[in-house]
């Protein structure tokens, strides 16, 4: 409402020279780049206002095009949400795959490395942006929640469970339930992240590295004296 913005294509010319009128085109055809730009814009606006309150107009404007143009690339608002989640899934899957491969040789070192990395990564607001969105809409779009779970969450849990089993085979881990072990690894990190990025907790004293260290200590050696 306040920021009318009113499409002024020539903001740079101080003098109102109408000489070089239409020096550059009003718009360009950029069919290849558009979809990604639109998804970027959608993610930003979704995270800012939530899915429902986000306006297609705002998303379009942020992507530098008109609302109508968005509909040339996506069927509608829902499709934006779906596209966003789908775009996120494969890179994450790749990352998990890479982690799993790393762990084959030395499960203990791999676990340490992964906890360190995950703790640091999830501290980053941008990386948690899509998961955050998924969490907030999952109740209303069950199939999207399920999609994300099977492709990301369960993959991650599965990868850790696999890592645990490998560690058991090599005698470095105790033989407990592998899924429970995976939850013990990921749960505390997830809880911290939700508390911070969703519930607005300021990061208390201590860096991510310190947190990871404490987590690993408890995870490996337990709480019992």
Partner DNA sequence: TGTATATAACTGACCGGTCAGTTATATACA
The contact set with its own copies (CB under 8 A) reads: 47, 49-53, 132, 135-140, 142, 145-146, 148-149, 153-154, 164, 167-168, 171-174, 176-177, 179-181, 183-184, 186-192, 194-195, 198-201, 204, 206, 211, 214-215, 217-225
97 binds, among its own copies, DNA, none (CB under 5 to 8 A by kind): none
**Would you give the binding string for DNA spanning residues 9-48, x where CB under 7 A is met?**
-------------x--xxxxxxx--x--------------
Q: Could you tell me the two tokens for 162?
A: 């696999």
Q: Which is nearer to its own copies, 25 or 222 (CB)?
A: 222
By CB under 7 A, tell whether 54 contacts DNA. yes
Give the Cα separation of 89 and 86 in Å (integer).
5
Q: Which is nearer to its own copies, 9 or 206 (CB)?
A: 206
Give the Cα separation of 145 and 16 in Å (integer).
53
Given 17, 48, 71, 179, the residue binding DNA (CB under 7 A): 71
DSSP string, 24-79: S-S----TTTHHHHHHHHHHHHHHHH-TTT--HHHHHHHHTS-HHHHHHH-SSHHH
180 binds, among its own copies, DNA, none (CB under 5 to 8 A by kind): its own copies
CA proximity to 80, closest of 111, 108, 105, 59: 59
Q: Could you tell me the two tokens for 137?
A: 């809409």
């Amino acid at each position: 409402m306040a920021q009318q913005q009113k499409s002024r294509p020539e903001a740079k010319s101080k003098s109102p020279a109408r000489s070089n009128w239409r020096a550059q085109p009003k718009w360009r055809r950029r069919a290849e780049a558009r979809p990604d730009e639109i998804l970027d814009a959608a993610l930003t606006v979704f995270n800012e206002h939530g899915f429902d309150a986000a306006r297609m107009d705002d998303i379009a404007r942020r992507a530098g095009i008109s609302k109508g143009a968005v509909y040339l690339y996506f069927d509608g608002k829902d499709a934006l949400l779906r596209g966003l989640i789908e775009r996120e899934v494969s890179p994450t899957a790749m990352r998990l795959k890479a982690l799993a491969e790393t762990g084959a040789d030395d499960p203990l070192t791999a676990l340490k490395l992964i906890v360190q990395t995950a703790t640091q990564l999830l501290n980053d607001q941008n990386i948690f942006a899509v998961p955050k969105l998924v969490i907030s809409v999952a109740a209303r779009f069950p199939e999207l929640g399920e999609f994300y779970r099977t492709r990301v969450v369960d993959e991650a849990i599965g990868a850790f469970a696999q890592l645990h089993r490998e560690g058991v085979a090599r005698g470095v881990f105790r033989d407990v339930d592998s899924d429970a072990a995976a939850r013990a690894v990921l749960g505390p990190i997830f809880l911290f992240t939700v508390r911070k990025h969703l519930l607005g907790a300021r990061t208390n004293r201590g860096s991510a590295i310190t947190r990871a260290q404490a987590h690993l200590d408890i995870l490996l050696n337990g709480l019992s004296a």
